[in-house]
Amino acid sequence: MNLSMKWLNDYVKADMSIKDYCHALTMSGSKVEGYEIEGSNISNVVVGKILEKGQHENADALFVCQVDAGLEAPIQIVTNAKNVKEGDLVPVALDGAVLPEGKIKKGKLRGVESFGMFCGLETLGLTPNDFPYADPDGVLVIEEDCKIGEDIHSALGLDDTSVEFEITSNRPDCLSVTGLARETGATFRLPVNIPAPSFNGVDGDINEMLKVDIHNTEKCQRYCAGIVKNVKIEPSPRWMRERLRASGVRPINNFVDITNYVMLEYGQPMHAFDLRYVEGAHINVRNAVNGEKIVTLDGVERELTEDMLVIADSVKPVAVAGVMGGEYSGIMEDTTTVVFESAYFEPTQVRRTSKALKLKSDASMRYEKGVDRLISMTCLERAFQLVEQLGAGEVVRTVIDKDYTDKTPASVEFDAEWINDFLGTYIPEEDMINYLEMLGFKVENNMAYAPSFRIDIECKADIAEEVARIYGYDKIPSTEFRGVAEAELTQEQKFLRSLENNMVALGGYGIATFSFISPKHFDKLNLPADSKLRNPITIINPLGEDTSIMRTSILPSMLEILSTNYNNRNESAKLYEIGKEYIPNPENKLPDEPDRLAIGMYGDDTDFYDIKGITETLLVKMGIKDVEYVRACECDAFDEAVSFHPGRSAVVMKDGIALGIFGEVHPTVQENYGIGTKTYIGKFNIPEMRKCADTEITYQPLPKFPASTRDLSVICDDSIPVAELEKAIKGAVGKILEKVTLFDVYKGQQIEEGKKSVSYSITMRSHEGTLTDEQADGAMKKVLKALSAIGAELRM
């Protein structure tokens, strides 16, 4: 909403500085986005009278003028303007003048001195709508009442200030000059005077000229109509054009301008029909018939449904009620009789119709927020007053008023003590009543009655807000609220924090990615057509395909970021993300949103054992011990297994629960993501990890007796996983085993093709006494036997 300060001053004397004004209104609830002083980019331009106009001696297209610009002597100006003649008043930019396009300096044009420049509309930042009589391409020949030498701002009315407000959706009444006048009055404790409009009119019975019937009085609660005869369609006067311009509305002609003027002034949309096009001179406000069509003012044919409301004549719809008029409903050059409509349409009705038709207008936006339901007649009268003031036609004195509105004001209990308790203030009751009355409320017998333009008053808290904002939020004291409360992270939250801290300690950098992705990722991940991951939650109105589904796997997000980094020429990356996946749950109307940890890395000679090392350390730190690693391709726990190199990926299992998958990215997938180096990723299911984590720590006494260590190298088939050897060793040593450490795996010279040599260091310890050599050797014999049983023989 743009407010003309000149217009505002018709109703309330707001003569404080514009900065103070804007600040105070912002602080009382009408947020000011900014203000613009009209013509502030113009200076040293005055009204000049052309005394003489002659041909330039050296140029056919130029003229030399002597101009009285109110200075001691006439000045000489060279111009190419053909549309000016001696005696004309024109805007003269003097030497040193500032215009929107730049500065003006005196100089010589083809050898003749020129001490200034004549200005056209465009030069002054104006349009033909502002001065319809002006030649749009020539110099502006001023037809205003002004003096020679007068500053152009006052001569042309470029001296208004326009304030831009951001009005919240609960206060549609402030989308009008009178609404903001009331706010201004209450904010500055100034009297506001909005006179009731009046008009003279000519004799005539409207009922002989027009008939109005409302067929749906719930959706259209009031319809006021009046007639203007013998109209003269012409541009509206300057003062009206100026105010429209300052309000951001383009002047068109006197009748259109009057409807816009009243709408800006009172917030009530109005419509002007040409009576010729109202067939049967009968206005019917009714529901549309399914399939009924209307071509709206914007030239689009629209099909209507029966839940929409139309303004129809006796044959066809002429307007969509509260939304937009029909093609022939408006005012034309040859219109002779105008019907003004001022009506109240129910907000939800307008909103639904506007949404269904995908058609918004200034009127629909006001109606759907809610206009003052009692103001229709006042606005019609105001329009008539303006018609008479502009001499635009003859107003028929009688009017039609079909009124089905409920006149009961909204009322809420007024309890000053409750308000003070609720706000934490000590505002005297008289002050509260005073604030409310300035805002148009009536306070009687402990009840507050809202004015009809306030559609937002429903409960005690609403009254408290009115009091608080006029009192001043800044004056409300600040207190720390009382009561002791203890807060701590839940076990889940602690687990997540520990997880992120451990990932950081392991060298990972946290990332944040979008939860929605492109369905193209399913193919990029190599997922088969029947993968359950291909069944995502889909957004029905996405920004684009790239963000159209909720991810069913966190891995594509990670791969995309690895790809970005690779393509940004970062040599290495080590990333992690703790984020959600979104999995449809057929048993629940809402999907599951399980937490996941993703890990991704490349560069720095990273290989499979780096990401495995991270996994191992992380799991131990998170309290998860004794896990098993199985080949990802032989395990159906994760659909993403197909995105990994089948020979270099593993699933982590703990007591039959799959905790995560990690390994090298499948070469095809790596290529699909445009990553030109070996890349390693992993995904871990956080709820499952938590389930398997033993976070209770109990101190284990340090050993009292020394350990015995034996080293051992065995030769076995290359195909035997070392985990099997380890399992055999653990089983054979039994209780006295402290740890088994693999320290070498060797293939090559001296070892038969297809075999490998594996070396272990086995540490044994008893808590009862020092182990004897016999005990240790005995255990080692069992180890060799157990290893031999699975095809691993001692290396000689």
Partner 1 sequence: MKEQLKKIEELAVSELSSCTEIKALDDLRIKYLGKKGELTAILKQMGKLSAEERPVIGQLANKVRADIEEALSNKLTSLKASAQAEQIAKESIDITLPGKKQTIGNLHPLTIVENEIKDIFMGMGFNIADGPEIDDDYHVFEALNLPPDHPARDTQDTFYITDNILLRTQTSSVQVHVMENQKPPIRIISPGRVYRSDAVDATHSPIFHQIEGLVVDKGITMSDLKGTLETLMKKIYGNDCKLRFRPHHFPFTEPSCEVDISCYMCGGKGCPVCKGEGFIELLGAGMVHPKVLENCGIDSNVYSGFAFGLGLERMVTARYDISDMRLLYENDMRFLKQF
Question: Within positions 557 to 616, which residues make up the interface with partner 1, using CB under 8 A?
Answer: 561, 564-565, 568, 570, 572-576, 580, 582, 589-591, 593
Contact flag: residue 550 with partner 1 (CB under 8 A) = yes
Please identify, among the stretches 102-110, 131-139, 151-159, 535-543, the one whose residues bind partner 1 according to the rule CB under 8 A.
Answer: 535-543
Binder among 511, 555, 714, 720 for partner 1 (CB under 8 A)? 511
Please count the residues of the chain. Answer: 796
Residue 467 or 776: the one with the smaller Cβ distance to partner 1 is: 467
Report if residue 543 touches partner 1, rule: CB under 8 A: yes
Binding of partner 1 at residue 490 (CB under 8 A)? yes
Q: What residues from 248 to 307 belong to the interface with partner 1 (CB under 8 A)?
A: none
Compute how many residues bind partner 1; rule: CB under 8 A. Answer: 87
- Termini Cα distance of the chain: 93
Q: Which of 76, 129, 526, 547 forms a contact with partner 1 (CB under 8 A)?
A: 547
Find, among 702, 703, 771, 764, the residue nearest to 733 by Cα.
764
| Cβ closest to partner 1, residue 352 vs residue 710 | 352
Residue 498 touches partner 1, criterion: CB under 8 A: no
Which of positions 650-669 make contact with partner 1 (CB under 8 A)? none
Q: Tell the smallest beta-carbon distance from residue 508 to partner 1 (Å).
A: 4
474 binds partner 1 (CB under 8 A): yes
Query: Is 529 a binder of partner 1 (CB under 8 A)?
Result: no
Residues 25-64 that bind partner 1 (CB under 8 A): 26-29, 31
Nearer to partner 1, 32 or 258 (CB): 32
Supply 518's token pair.
């492109």
> Residue 403: exposed, middle, or buried by beta-carbon count in 10 A (0-12, 13-18, 19+)?
middle
Q: 422 or 629: whose CB is closer to partner 1?
A: 422
Stretch in the footprint of partner 1 (CB under 8 A) among 74-82, 208-216, 512-520, 619-627: 512-520
Q: Is 164 exposed, middle or buried (0-12, 13-18, 19+ CB in 10 A)?
A: middle
Give the H/E segment covering residue 493: helix 491-505
The correct pick among 95, 327, 462, 628 for binding partner 1 (CB under 8 A) is 462
Q: Name the amino acid, one letter, at 278.
A: V
Contacts of partner 1 in 138-197 (CB under 8 A): 168-171
Exactly one of 493, 535, 677, 695 binds partner 1 (CB under 8 A); that residue is: 493
What is the spatial distance between Cα 469 and Cα 435, in angstroms, rounded to a whole number?
9
Least distance (Å) from partner 1 to the CB of residue 106?
35
Does residue 220 contact residue 271 with C-beta atoms inside 8 Å? no
Query: CB neighbours of 315 closer than 8 A, spacing ≥ 6?
Result: 279, 280
Distance separating alpha carbons of residues 762 and 656, to the nearest angstrom: 27
Answer yes or no whether residue 489 interacts with partner 1 by CB under 8 A. yes
Q: 518: which residues sit within 8 A by CB, 6+ positions away?
A: 545, 546, 547, 548, 549
Is 347 a binder of partner 1 (CB under 8 A)?
yes
What ranges in 528-666 are assigned the alpha helix state H?
Answer: 555-567, 608-621
Select from 516, 673, 684, 760 the one that contacts partner 1 (CB under 8 A): 516
By CB atoms closer than 10 A (0-12, 13-18, 19+), residue 668 is middle
Nearest to 527 by CA among 535, 516, 539: 535
**Binder to partner 1 among 133, 239, 404, 473 (CB under 8 A)?**
473
Residue 616, classed as helix, strand or coil, is: helix
CA distances from 205 to 208, 211, 227, 244 (A): 6, 11, 10, 33
Q: Which of 145, 334, 480, 696 binds partner 1 (CB under 8 A)?
A: 480
CB 396 within 8 A of CB 226: yes
Residues 415-444 that bind partner 1 (CB under 8 A): 421-425
Structure token digits, residue 328: 């022939």
Establish if 453 lies at the interface with partner 1 (CB under 8 A). no
Which of 408, 541, 719, 750: binder of partner 1 (CB under 8 A)?
Answer: 541
From 83-91, 311-319, 372-380, 513-521, span contacting partner 1 (CB under 8 A): 513-521
Nearest CB to partner 1, comparing residues 341 and 368: 368
Residue 415: CB atoms within 10 A of its CB come to 18
446 contacts partner 1 (rule: CB under 8 A): no
> Is 510 strand, coil or helix?
strand
